[in-house]
Amino acid sequence: MNSNQAIQAYKASKHLNQNPRDILTAVHEELYRSISSAKYADEQNKLDHMCAHLENAVQILTVLVTTLNFSVTGGDGARLKQYYLRLLSLLNRNEKGAKRSAAYQQSMDLLQPLCQEFRKV
């Protein structure tokens, strides 16, 4: 698919909108789902599935950290960037067993209030 086809598909979609808050909500909920799924797959000893979900979460966080212009909001932007970097750090640890599960849970605990706040507005 080339970019023109993607643009046309986007315009034709009745399920997408351009509200930035809706986009952020969807991105953060997908991030939460990916981490939750990675944790579940790890607990089921399905390491291939765990790695796929973990890869998705890391990709989302990497895009957020590398593309958002945190400097335009001053201190709040700096804190948000540190928040995302903290999540990346938790996910990139080379933990095993219970420690890995705890890192996933800690990530989910950090994300849950943000996802709830996005849903409120």
pLDDT tens digits for range 80-108: 999 999 999 999 988 788 899 999 999 99
pLDDT digits 0-9 by tens, 33-72: 999 999 999 999 999 999 999 999 999 999 999 998 889 8
18 band by pLDDT with thresholds 50, 70 and 90: low
Helix 20-43 vs helix 97-120: angle between axes, to the nearest 10 degrees? 160
Of 118, 110, 113, 4, the closest CA to residue 57 belongs to: 110
Contacts of residue 37, defined as CB under 8 A and 6 or more positions apart, other chains included, come to 49, 53
pLDDT of residue 15: 53
Domains of the chain: 18-120 (1.20.120.340)
